[in-house]
């Protein structure tokens, strides 16, 4: 809903300064409250209680390097969520091995943005592709047909586990369309991925043990295309979490 042009709080801009120095949505637009926006994020049940306040980074006495990496990642996510849309980047790209806390921080940032008044939505990458494919079926429900539009048009989109799907021409075309549309329309994108991003200097050749034959991982570009990755690298700040399994540590 449009802002009231005569509103004394925001002068018709739809946004006003918050007590903490940031900006929040002005109530003159008739927008729903922060609790309702968080409820509409589409989060799986296991992420319902996730936030910055319960992210566990350990202590510097246990492992100083790991502690610095995790607290640095949390600071980057918090900073983005508080500064958007006025920060230097309009997206975040969390990269790291499974279980290191990428989704926790991404969801925490998404919730904070929703609380500040932005329309946000969460999609698991594989579930998103499945729903978009179902939407082509005339017998599919309305929710499946609306999924593609939501991925394109919602103000802030979180794509969790990007690249976790076998590569087909249809997948490449679909992902490229979503990323290119959001890039052109300057809409925010938060991404998590387990895959190395060669364009950011990540190594795709790994060896688990001394003397073992090296294995070559797919890169993110192998799964979603080089052009889409290039767009992501341009608009997203990289948050790389190179630590041990967060879920086991917690």
Element (H, E) at 215: strand 215-216
What pLDDT does residue 154 have? 95
**Where do runs of H (alpha helix) occur along 47-124?**
64-83, 102-115
- Both 212 and 124 in a single domain? yes
Q: Are residues 68 and 185 in the same domain?
A: yes
**One domain for residues 15 and 100:** no
Q: Which CATH number does the domain housing residue 105 bear? A: 3.40.50.300
Same domain, 25 and 50: no
Terminal CA-CA length for the chain: 42
pLDDT at 42: 84
pLDDT, tens digit, 9 for 90 and up, residues 44-89 = 888 989 999 999 888 888 888 888 999 999 999 999 999 999 988 9
Same domain, 11 and 117: no
Question: 171 and 51: one domain?
Answer: yes
Query: How many structural domains does the chain have?
Result: 2
Give me the mean pLDDT over the 199-226 stretch. Answer: 75
CB 108 within 8 A of CB 95: no
The verdict on 24 and 104 lying in the same domain is no
Output the pTM of the full model: 0.80
Q: What is the mean pLDDT of the chain?
A: 83
Q: How confident is the model at residue 243 (pLDDT cuts 50, 70, 90)?
A: confident
Residue 194 predicted with pLDDT over 50 = yes
- Using only C-alpha atoms, the chain has a radius of gyration, in whole angstroms, of 19
Average pLDDT over residues 209-226: 77
Taking each helix axis from N to C end, the angle separating 125-135 and 142-153, rounded to the nearest 10 degrees, works out to 120
At residue 13, does pLDDT exceed 70?
A: no
Residue 92's pLDDT band (cuts 50, 70, 90): very high
pLDDT of residue 40: 75
Q: What is the DSSP letter of 238?
A: E
Q: Are 96 and 193 within one domain? A: yes
> For the chain, how long is the longest CA-to-CA vector?
72
Domain that holds residue 4: 1-31
Higher-pLDDT residue of 163 and 208 is 163
Q: What percent of the chain has pLDDT over 90?
A: 52
Which helix (H) or strand (E) is 124 found in, with range?
strand 120-124
pLDDT in tens, 94-128: 999 888 999 999 999 999 999 998 999 999 999 99
CB 94: neighbour CB atoms within 10 A? 29
* One domain, residues 5 and 63: no
pLDDT in tens, 123-174: 999 999 999 988 877 666 666 678 999 999 999 999 999 999 888 999 999 9
- Same-domain pairing of 85 and 10: no
Nearest CA to 129 out of 163, 106, 153 is that of 163
pLDDT at 9: 66
Is 67 found in the same domain as 19?
Answer: no
Q: Are 157 and 151 in contact (CB under 8 A)?
A: yes
Q: For residue 177, give the nearest of 156, 138, 195, 151 by alpha carbon.
A: 151
Closest CA to 165 of 126, 136, 201, 199: 126
Domain match, 88 and 106 both: yes
User: Phi/psi of residue 209, each to 5°?
Assistant: -135, 155
């Amino acid at each position: 809903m449009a802002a009231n042009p005569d509103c004394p709080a925001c002068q018709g801009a739809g946004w006003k300064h918050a007590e903490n120095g940031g900006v929040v949505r002005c109530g003159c637009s008739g927008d729903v409250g922060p609790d309702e926006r968080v409820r509409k994020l589409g989060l799986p049940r296991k992420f319902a209680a996730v936030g910055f306040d319960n992210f566990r980074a350990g202590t510097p006495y246990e492992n100083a390097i790991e502690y610095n990496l995790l607290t640095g990642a949390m600071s980057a996510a918090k900073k983005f969520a508080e500064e958007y849309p006025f920060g230097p980047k309009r997206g975040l790209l969390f990269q790291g091995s499974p279980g290191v806390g990428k989704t926790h921080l991404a969801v925490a940032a998404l919730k904070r943005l929703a609380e500040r008044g932005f329309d946000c939505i969460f999609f698991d990458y594989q579930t998103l592709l499945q729903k978009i494919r179902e939407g082509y079926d005339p017998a599919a429900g309305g929710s499946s047909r609306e999924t593609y539009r939501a991925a394109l048009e919602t103000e802030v989109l979180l794509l969790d586990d990007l690249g976790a799907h076998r590569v087909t021409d249809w997948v490449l075309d679909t992902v490229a369309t979503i990323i290119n549309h959001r890039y052109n329309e300057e809409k925010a994108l938060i991404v998590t991925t387990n895959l190395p991003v060669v364009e950011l200097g990540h190594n795709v050749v790994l060896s688990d043990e001394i003397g073992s034959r090296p294995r070559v991982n797919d890169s993110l570009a192998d799964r979603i295309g080089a052009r889409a990755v290039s767009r992501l690298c341009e608009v997203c700040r990289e948050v790389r979490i190179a630590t041990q399994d967060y879920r086991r540590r917690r």
